[in-house]
Amino acid sequence: MKKAVVLLSGGLDSTTCMAVAKNEGYELYPISFDYNQRHKRELALAKKIADYYGAEGHKIISMENVGGSALTDMSIDVPAYKGDHQIPITYVPARNILFLSYALGYAEVIGAEAIVIGVSAVDYSGYPDCRPEFIEAFQKVVDVGTAAGVEGKSIKIITPLIHLSKAETIELGHQLGAPYHLTTSCYNGEEEACRVCDSCVLRLKGFEEAKLEDPIVYK
């Protein structure tokens, strides 16, 4: 069976990616990251999601906290949603570069054909590492910087949500039976989601536009 490494945060988008990869016949090898994020409860949920799909070899990678973000520095408050596309203080420096690099190494080790990541160029909160330009550039790195790439068996970076709105993502996951009840999105990382951070606002708006009920608990 073909294999895919899925970047699994425990959030809505990455869980949708698990559903998409499963539906496309991949054997799932999720990888999650402990980077001292404020919302660390997502890691426990990522494990539940991996178990839900009977995934193989779920890895949780511990990384040094480099700071510089409201998600990793407890002295910086998580801001309320502003609705613009300025790069927000919740941006974690070079996060997706680091995540994809780890995932790429794992993919080479297990002989995976693909890496699946849930970036979106539509509802992306202004993060530069969620844009098509970044994915295209990283694919070039894969092609020229790995044994698989130079041997003509390059690992494909798959972005099934790249052109979808949050509502379209939710509709897709709902059709595929994604376990959204096991997910979390809130940047504050509490048991009850805050409703006001970027991630909560985009999630709630997405469920409303999709005309579906969000199964998680909010304040």
**DSSP per-residue letters across 96-124:** HHHHHHHHHHHHHHHT-SEEE----SSS-
10 annotated binding-site participant: yes
14 annotated binding-site participant: yes
pTM, two decimal places: 0.86
| Helix, strand, or coil (residue 25) | coil
120 annotated binding-site participant: no
186 annotated binding-site participant: yes
What residue type is assigned to position 152 of the chain?
G
Sketch out the chain's domains with CATH numbers.
3-210 (3.40.50.620)
9 annotated binding-site participant: yes
Pairwise CA distance, residues 112 & 115, whole Å: 8
Q: In this predicted structure, what is the pLDDT of residue 84?
A: 53
Q: In this predicted structure, what is the pLDDT of residue 72?
A: 47
Residue ranges in the chain whose pLDDT is less than 70: 38-39, 64-94, 123-126
130 annotated binding-site participant: no
Q: In this predicted structure, what is the pLDDT of residue 73?
A: 45
197 annotated binding-site participant: yes
Q: How many CB atoms lie within 10 A of CB 179?
A: 16
12 annotated binding-site participant: yes
194 annotated binding-site participant: yes
75 annotated binding-site participant: no
How far, in Å, are 5, 67, 136, 209, 215 from residue 170 at the CA level? 21, 31, 25, 9, 12
Q: In this predicted structure, what is the pLDDT of residue 198?
A: 86
